[in-house]
């Protein structure tokens, strides 16, 4: 059987990198895309992985990477829209440029890559788009409003796309990680803070970053992504290590949930 091909955005670190390595070890062809392929570590120099430059905020870069990946592998069976980062801060402190950059990366970038890949999948008569959302694509926390807005948007976008792509045998799936120990909680977060939110946001950040660095390994998310990629059902959502906070949000009445969240994270 011919090996299948996956194109991954944001493969330099964390979930994207772990997924590239898992799929490559399983015998898939992996088009691993990075903003700067020169930054790829030695593990990514794997015989089943080809590296391509791709910045999801740049239309030319998306188009070129998709052309190059297609030339290398002749097909793209699965697209993993993974690239993203979190912008943190009270809404009053975020400037337009920061908010636009957040949406340009996490939402418009994902749309741009998807639009380039869809004609290839339609021509092939099948395909799978896997979008990385988050548990905070389904529940909100404070001080991350624009990051959370991008993930809620990814959820709605994906759910809508699944209906329009079904006639072409292209499935859409969403993977929702909980706290995962990656660069996300270290270098990748962007911050804006100011009074009178400072003390409360500092408490939130200390809880958030602690939970992030104690989070699950990105390899655990990669396994869920692999399962989703090989699941021929029409299931839409796959949780990946959601953690107890997610389940409490699902089961507690709103008034109790709100008091708990405020006590643990902000007051
Ligand atoms: N870690 C968590 O707790 C968690 C939880 C839920 C969801 N997620 C989601 O999981 C995804 C991966 O994050 P991660 O945790 O693996 O963090 P990460 O280690 O920081 O990886 C993020 C990746 O996105 C790339 N990226 C950022 N901006 C980009 C752009 N403009 N174009 C192309 N690539 C870009 C980064 O590339 P560079 O190296 O070039 O910056 C990096 O490869 C994100 O969508 C994130 O929102 C993470």
Instruction: Report how far residue 192's alpha carbon sits from residue 250's, in angstroms, rounded to the nearest whole number.
Output: 29
**Given a cut of 80, is residue 129 above it in pLDDT?**
yes
**pLDDT tens column, 1-27:** 789 999 999 999 999 999 999 999 999
Percent of the chain with pLDDT over 90: 94
**Given a cut of 80, is residue 187 above it in pLDDT?**
no
Cα of first residue to Cα of last residue in the chain, in angstroms, is 57
- Residue 142's nearest CA partner among 3, 18, 38, 267 is 267
Instruction: Report how far residue 58's alpha carbon sits from residue 56's, in angstroms, rounded to the nearest whole number.
Output: 6
Q: What confidence tier does 63 reach under pLDDT thresholds 50, 70, 90? A: very high
Q: What confidence tier does 42 reach under pLDDT thresholds 50, 70, 90? A: very high
Our mutation pick for probing the ligand 1 site, out of 16, 109, 245, counting the most ligand atoms within 8 A of Cβ, is 16
Q: How far is the CA of 194 from the centre of ligand 1 (A)?
A: 25
**Given a cut of 80, is residue 217 above it in pLDDT?**
yes
CB-CB neighbours of 226 under 10 Å: 17
3-state secondary structure of 237: strand
pLDDT in the model for residue 185 = 81
**pLDDT tens column, 153-186:** 999 999 999 999 999 999 999 999 999 999 998 7
Catalytic residues: 12, 133, 147, 151
pLDDT in the model for residue 188 = 77
pLDDT in the model for residue 50 = 98
**pLDDT tens column, 110-127:** 999 999 999 999 999 999
Strand partners, 33: 52
- Which ranges of 139-197 does DSSP label H, i.e. alpha helix? 145-165
3-state secondary structure of 189: coil
**pLDDT tens column, 81-118:** 999 999 999 999 999 999 999 999 999 999 999 999 99
Q: Are 245 and 214 in contact (CB under 8 A)?
A: no
Give the domains, in start order, of the chain with CATH numbers.
5-266 (3.40.50.720)
Ligand 1 pocket list (CB less than 6 A): 9-10, 12-16, 34-35, 54-57, 82-85, 105, 109, 132, 134, 177, 179-180, 182-184, 188, 212, 215, 218
Q: How far is the CA of 11 from the centre of ligand 1 (A)?
A: 8
Q: How far is the CA of 211 from the centre of ligand 1 (A)?
A: 17
Q: How far is the CA of 197 from the centre of ligand 1 (A)?
A: 26
**pLDDT tens column, 44-57:** 999 999 999 999 99
Atom of ligand 1 nearest to the CA of 135: 6
Atom of ligand 1 nearest to the CA of 185: 1
Q: What is the residue-wise DSSP string for 96-147?
A: HHHHHHHHIIIIIHHHHHHHHHHHHHHHHT-EEEEEE--GGGTS--TT-HHH
């Amino acid at each position: 059987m011919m090996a299948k091909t996956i194109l991954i955005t944001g493969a330099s670190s964390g979930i994207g990198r772990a997924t590239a390595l898992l799929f490559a070890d399983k015998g898939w062809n992996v088009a691993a895309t990075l903003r700067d392929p020169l930054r790829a570590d030695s593990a990514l120099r794997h015989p089943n992985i080809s590296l391509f430059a791709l910045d999801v905020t740049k239309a030319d870069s998306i188009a070129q990477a998709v052309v190059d990946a297609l030339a290398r592998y002749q097909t793209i069976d699965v697209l993993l829209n993974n690239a993203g980062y979190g912008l943190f801060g009270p809404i009053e402190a975020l400037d337009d440029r920061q908010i636009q950059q957040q949406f340009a990366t996490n939402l418009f970038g994902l749309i741009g890559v998807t639009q380039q890949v869809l004609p290839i999948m339609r021509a092939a008569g099948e395909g799978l788009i896997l979008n990385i959302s988050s548990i905070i694509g389904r529940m909100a926390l404070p001080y991350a409003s624009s990051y959370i807005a991008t993930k809620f948007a990814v959820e709605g976008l994906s759910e809508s796309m699944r209906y329009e792509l079904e006639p072409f045998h292209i499935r859409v799936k969403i993977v929702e990680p909980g706290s995962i120990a990656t660069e996300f909680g270290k270098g990748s977060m962007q911050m804006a803070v100011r009074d009178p939110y400072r003390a409360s946001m500092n408490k939130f950040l200390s809880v958030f970053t602690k939970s992030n660095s104690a989070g699950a390994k990105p390899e655990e998310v990669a396994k869920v992504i692999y399962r989703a990629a090989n699941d021929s059902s029409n299931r839409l959502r796959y949780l990946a290590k959601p953690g107890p906070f997610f389940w409490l949000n699902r089961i507690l009445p709103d008034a109790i949930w709100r008091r708990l969240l405020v006590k643990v994270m902000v007051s």
